[in-house]
């Protein structure tokens, strides 16, 4: 027995909090004595070999009552199969004596709160750990009957249990303690409840000694409650403990769960978790890879090393990916704008067979994700179009709009003319009755998309060019509204340049003037080199102009005039109806050509593609329709040109070809 006592004292010393003492010395001493008494009493119940939180063999299980996990009622993450609470519940419970085992069994088997409350008076000697278990079990039984919680909390027996537990809280073991806290939160006890505060205090007191999985359990199950209740100190200390002891994280499930639940609350913790994730990524299954990515996407964290690691495993491992996982992965890659060719190939290929079974909303979401990634998979997009056609009668207009926007972004139209006709007929038919009911910015987006795809009808142009709709965007301040205004300019230009018979309302010319400076971005290397090279060719500054804002909402990189002999003409005197505002009065000399230089940077193209994205294709078309010969300067050709001389020769050659093509028509 002497050895036991020594062990007990050592245990006591070990459990004393390090660091500043939260209580005055007298209270400390009283607490110490109480703790000692409790431990002594426990020592008589528990075989000495068993430290409190360790589970001796052969003891009864508490878990599995009602086959429900602790998190199932409130935690949004509870669909995740192996929850931490599940792990904790598998910890065995402790009673060594037959009489105690009997109580364990009764608690375990209870299916009604009443059975549990009756344990109090039933001649059983309930110790505090039992009381904790009863409270935990009560909370679980009421998890889907919130209307009974208030009456339970008012029950005198409940209060008695609470009192029993909180008066002996120091001797409740680690596992039951953290589950108790979570259960009391779930029972929605009043914020000022003394007993709950004492449980919280005890948890704070013990944070350093709890095992990491207990901390993780609290992080997963209780941080939302702590925030709601304003338990800021406990929450802050919990997060610090999780961060300091991150090396104790045991498995991939735990790190992923922590990332989702506690990561958003603490930047330093999230950084640690990302490191740990990198270390464990090797062991991740598809479910974990999904969760990591969705978590990063939800927090908008574009953590490149981690995204690379996850991508690597997605590509290397042959595990099958379910439809839900594929959709989530596409969403996450899209949201984070992380383009990884092999992953995207795999996603597109694996998704294809699932398309017929997707819901319209899933197709819309998925198309949007691929559009964000600028990834055009022909077969997949054909399948999206077919999906929409197959559900022509039921597809909700917002989903149809999202598919349309994705098509326009990637400048995709169904390959087969018949399918294309059907698709756009359906779009027009739906928009006919519903366009003007959509949010104004969405109306503009949709009509703009139709312009990109060369499918806009006059009625649709009219719908967004009427003053009642467009006036709200003329004074646009927010970036989003300014984007909408720019699209309106493009729609106006479409009406003007591509619909010769259009007689509906227009944007007032004056709307353009104060906006133009806002359209300039910062100068890119390609832009600068193009200007310099061209200036060298022109020889004189009046023979060309640069960064030319047009009425159509596009900015030309440069504009020049060529006479029929291919010589540059000074621009200034000649009529220029495309400028904002229009200028000049002298008509162009016969045979003169106007040339516009348009540079296409890397982001102007689809991923791994030399096809312009919809927006840039529209710009090119408009500039052509406005009477220019277009000189395209794509980044991938420009990059190959090394010397000044090569660059000059390249531009001259391009101009010559543009003129020759025009003549050949």
Ligand X SMILES: *[C@@H]1O[C@H](CO)[C@@H](O)[C@H](O)[C@H]1NC(C)=O
Q: Which is nearer to ligand X, 338 or 485 (CB)?
A: 485
Q: Which is nearer to ligand X, 191 or 513 (CB)?
A: 513
User: 528, exposed or middle or buried, with CB in 10 Å at 0-12, 13-18, 19+?
Assistant: exposed
Q: Which is nearer to ligand X, 258 or 556 (CB)?
A: 556
Pick from 253, 496, 543, 578 the residue near ligand X by CB under 6 A. 496
- Tell which positions 553-572 bind ligand X, by CB under 6 A: none
171 binds ligand X (CB under 6 A): no
Distance of CA 2 to the CA centre of its chain: 59
Distance of CA 226 to the CA centre of its chain: 24
Distance of CA 382 to the CA centre of its chain: 26
Least distance between ligand X and beta carbon 551 (Å): 4
Q: Which is nearer to ligand X, 305 or 581 (CB)?
A: 581
Of 111-119, 230-238, 255-263, 489-497, which part binds ligand X (CB under 6 A)?
Answer: 489-497
512 binds ligand X (CB under 6 A): yes
Neighbours of 58 (CB within 10 A): 8
Of 225-233, 324-332, 490-498, 636-644, which part binds ligand X (CB under 6 A)?
Answer: 490-498
What are the tokens at 337?
């704008």
d(CA 185, CA 171): 20
Write down the residue that tokens 């990561």 correspond to. 263
Least distance between ligand X and beta carbon 292 (Å): 47
Q: What number of residues does the chain have?
A: 665
d(CA 233, CA 22): 12
User: 450: part of which helix (H) or strand (E)?
Assistant: helix 440-452
Of 226-234, 341-349, 505-513, 523-531, which part binds ligand X (CB under 6 A)?
Answer: 505-513
Pick from 150, 509, 575, 639 the residue near ligand X by CB under 6 A. 509
Distances (CA, A) of 493 to 448, 458, 465, 502: 11, 13, 11, 11
Of 62-70, 77-85, 501-509, 526-534, which part binds ligand X (CB under 6 A)?
Answer: 501-509
Least distance between ligand X and beta carbon 511 (Å): 5
d(CA 238, CA 223): 9
Least distance between ligand X and beta carbon 552 (Å): 7
Q: Which is nearer to ligand X, 443 or 492 (CB)?
A: 492
551 binds ligand X (CB under 6 A): yes
The CB-side HSE value for 460 (13 A sphere, CA atoms) comes to 27
Helix (H, G, I), strand (E, B) or coil at 592: coil
Least distance between ligand X and beta carbon 515 (Å): 9
Binding mask 432-471 for ligand X (x = CB under 6 A): ----------------------------------------
Least distance between ligand X and beta carbon 502 (Å): 7
Pick from 511, 595, 626, 631 the residue near ligand X by CB under 6 A. 511
Please enumerate in sequence order all residues whose Cβ is within 8 A of that of 507, keeping only pairs 6 or more positions apart, or say none.
465, 470, 474, 488, 489, 492
Q: Which is nearer to ligand X, 381 or 554 (CB)?
A: 554
User: 61, exposed or middle or buried, with CB in 10 Å at 0-12, 13-18, 19+?
Assistant: middle
Compute the C-alpha angle 216/217/219, nearest 5°.
60
Q: How many residues bind ligand X (CB under 6 A)?
A: 10
Least distance between ligand X and beta carbon 509 (Å): 3
What are the tokens at 261?
């639940």
Least distance between ligand X and beta carbon 480 (Å): 19
N-to-C CA span, the chain: 107
Least distance between ligand X and beta carbon 615 (Å): 17
Pick from 170, 256, 464, 506 the residue near ligand X by CB under 6 A. 506
The CB-side HSE value for 444 (13 A sphere, CA atoms) comes to 25
Least distance between ligand X and beta carbon 510 (Å): 8
- Tell which positions 347-376 bind ligand X, by CB under 6 A: none
Q: Which is nearer to ligand X, 254 or 489 (CB)?
A: 489
Least distance between ligand X and beta carbon 519 (Å): 12
Helix (H, G, I), strand (E, B) or coil at 208: coil
Please give the residue ranges that form the binding site for ligand X (CB under 6 A): 489, 492, 495-496, 506-507, 509, 511-512, 551
């Amino acid at each position: 027995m002497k050895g036991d006592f020594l062990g007990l004292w050592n245990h006591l010393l070990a459990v004393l909090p390090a660091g500043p003492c939260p209580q005055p010395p007298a209270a400390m001493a009283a607490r110490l004595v109480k703790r000692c008494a409790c431990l002594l009493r426990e020592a008589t119940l528990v075989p000495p070999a068993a430290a409190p939180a360790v589970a001796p063999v052969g003891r009864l299980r508490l878990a599995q009552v009602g086959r429900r996990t602790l998190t199932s009622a409130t935690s949004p993450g509870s669909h995740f199969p192996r929850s931490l609470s599940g792990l904790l519940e598998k910890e065995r419970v402790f009673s060594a004596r037959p009489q105690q085992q009997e109580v364990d069994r009764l608690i375990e088997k209870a299916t009604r709160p009443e059975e549990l409350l009756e344990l109090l008076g039933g001649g059983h000697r309930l110790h505090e750990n039992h009381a904790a278990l009863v409270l935990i079990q009560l909370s679980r039984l009421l998890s889907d009957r919130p209307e009974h919680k208030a009456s339970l909390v008012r029950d005198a027996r409940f209060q008695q249990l609470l009192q029993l537990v909180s008066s002996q809280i120091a001797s409740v073991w680690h596992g039951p303690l953290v589950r108790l806290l979570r259960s009391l939160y779930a029972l929605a006890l009043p914020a000022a409840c003394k007993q709950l505060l004492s449980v919280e205090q005890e948890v704070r007191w013990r944070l350093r000694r709890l095992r990491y999985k207990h901390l993780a359990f609290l992080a997963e199950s209780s941080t939302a409650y702590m925030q709601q209740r304003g338990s800021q100190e406990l929450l802050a200390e919990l997060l610090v403990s999780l961060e300091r002891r991150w090396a104790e994280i045991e498995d991939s499930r735990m790190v992923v769960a922590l990332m989702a639940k506690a990561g958003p609350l603490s930047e330093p913790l999230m950084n640690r978790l990302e490191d740990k994730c990198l270390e464990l990524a090797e062991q991740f299954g598809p479910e974990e890879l999904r969760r990591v990515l969705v978590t990063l996407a939800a927090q908008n964290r574009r953590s490149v090393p981690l995204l690379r690691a996850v991508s690597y495993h997605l590509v290397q491992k042959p595990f099958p990916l379910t439809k839900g996982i594929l959709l989530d992965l596409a969403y996450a890659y899209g949201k984070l704008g992380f383009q990884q060719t092999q992953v995207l190939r795999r996603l597109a290929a694996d998704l294809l067979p699932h398309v017929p079974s997707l819901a319209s909303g899933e197709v819309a979401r998925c198309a949007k994700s691929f559009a964000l990634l600028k990834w055009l998979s022909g077969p997949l997009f054909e399948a999206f179009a077919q999906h929409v056609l197959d559900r022509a009668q039921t597809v909700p207009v917002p989903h149809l709009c999202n598919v349309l926007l994705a098509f326009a972004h990637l400048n995709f139209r169904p390959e087969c003319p018949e399918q294309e006709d059907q698709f756009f007929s359906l779009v027009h038919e739906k928009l006919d009755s519903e366009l003007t009911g959509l949010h104004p910015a969405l109306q503009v987006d949709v009509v703009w998309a139709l312009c990109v795809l060369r499918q806009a009808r006059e009625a649709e142009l009219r719908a967004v060019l009427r003053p009642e709709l467009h006036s709200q965007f003329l004074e646009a301040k927010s970036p989003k509204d300014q984007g909408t205004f720019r699209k309106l300019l493009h729609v106006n230009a479409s009406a003007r340049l591509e619909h010769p018979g259009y007689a509906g309302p227009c944007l007032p010319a004056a709307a353009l003037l104060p906006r133009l400076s806002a359209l300039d971005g910062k100068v890119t290397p390609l832009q600068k080199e193009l200007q310099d090279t061209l200036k060298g060719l022109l020889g004189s500054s009046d023979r060309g102009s640069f960064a030319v804002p047009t009425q159509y909402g596009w900015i030309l990189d440069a504009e020049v005039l060529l006479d029929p002999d291919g010589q540059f003409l000074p621009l200034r005197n000649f009529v220029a109806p495309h400028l904002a505002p229009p200028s000049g009065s002298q008509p162009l000399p016969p045979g003169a050509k106007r040339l516009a230089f348009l540079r296409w940077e890397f982001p102007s193209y689809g991923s791994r593609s030399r096809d312009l994205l919809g927006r840039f294709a529209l710009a090119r078309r408009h500039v052509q329709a406005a009477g220019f010969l277009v000189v395209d300067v794509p980044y991938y050709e420009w990059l190959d040109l090394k010397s000044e001389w090569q660059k000059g020769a390249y531009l001259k050659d391009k101009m010559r070809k543009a003129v020759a093509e025009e003549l050949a028509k």
